[in-house]
Amino acid sequence: MQIRPVIGVPCGLQAPPGRQDRAVSAVPESYVRALESAGAAPLLIPVVRQESTLRMLYRLLDGLLLAGGVDIDPARFGQEPHPKLGKVDALRDWVELSLVPWAWADGLPVLGICRGIQTLNVARGGTLWQDITSQVPGALHHGRVSYTLRAHAVKLEPASRLVTVLGSDKVRVNSLHHQAIQVPGRGLQVVGRSSDGIIEAVEGDGQAWVVGVQWHPEWLWETDRPAERLFEGFVAACTARRAASA
């Protein structure tokens, strides 16, 4: 039987209004389906409170996917809250900002999607635009229009890993975010931008497979070959990691 790489997907907390006692750890099924289709075994990481528990879960992983979700607490990157800041999830921030340095130090493959590219950046000491529309004059509309509408193009650096994986240096992407990378973090190279200059893709500068994208390929992979190739490339890197550590 084929041994599939185990890819951790940290969850966020979701609760009915005013009922935090009924919160659940959850992640959209679209990520699970995309990873499973590409040949991985997704492992959902709940919002735990103890580092020892998180360490135990981390040791099971061959890769880490950072999913989309709510805003990151700006205190995590040294800023005061902007008036347009959305909902934050402090416990999810702690989980993900603990996992990224461990994965970076160990050379574990990482894929960050939407909030995930922002988490990756903050974990490496970078900063974020808290609200593109009010902070970046002349920016395109990057907020939610449709989960599957290819709202704008992203131009990729020709020598980037993403060009190799996606098979093109220009892709049309969906756009469902109001925040973005402001100052890139240590060890992250900007490899993709939209026409307004907003950073849409980054890669780690080392040998490890570390990629962050600002769009949502998990909503496109069934009909969009570049999105499907992104998950396939990530899972291939995780498979190689598993084989090397066997």
Q: In tens digits, what is the pLDDT along the chain, a chain of 246 residues? A: 578 999 999 999 987 777 777 889 999 999 999 999 999 999 999 999 999 999 999 999 999 999 999 999 999 999 999 999 999 999 999 999 999 999 999 999 999 999 999 999 999 999 999 999 999 999 999 988 789 999 999 999 999 999 999 999 999 999 999 999 999 999 999 999 999 999 999 999 999 999 999 999 999 999 999 999 999 999 999 999 999 987
Task: Give the domain CATH number at 207.
Answer: 3.40.50.880
Work out how many domains the chain is built from and give that number: 1
Tell me whether residue 1 is in a domain.
no
Can you give the pLDDT at residue 194? Answer: 98
What tens digit of pLDDT does each residue of 44-85 get? Answer: 999 999 999 999 999 999 999 999 999 999 999 999 999 999
Tell me whether residue 169 is in a domain.
yes
Can you give the pLDDT at residue 222? Answer: 96
Known catalytic residues are: 114, 216, 218
Q: Where in the sequence is the domain holding 57, given as residue range(s)?
A: 6-245
Provide the whole-model pTM: 0.97
3-class DSSP string for the chain: CCCCCEEEEECEEECCCCCHHHCEEECCHHHHHHHHHCCCEEEEECCCCCHHHHHHHHCCCCEEEECCCCECCHHHHCCCCCCCCCCECHHHHHHHHHHHHHHHHHCCCEEEECHHHHHHHHHCCCEEECCHHHHCCCCCCCCCCCCCCCCEEEEECCCCHHHHHHCCCEEEECCCCCCEEEECCCCEEEEEECCCCCEEEEEECCCCCEEEECCCHHHCCCCCHHHHHHHHHHHHHHHHHHHHHC
| 155 contacts 193 by C-beta, under 8 angstroms | yes
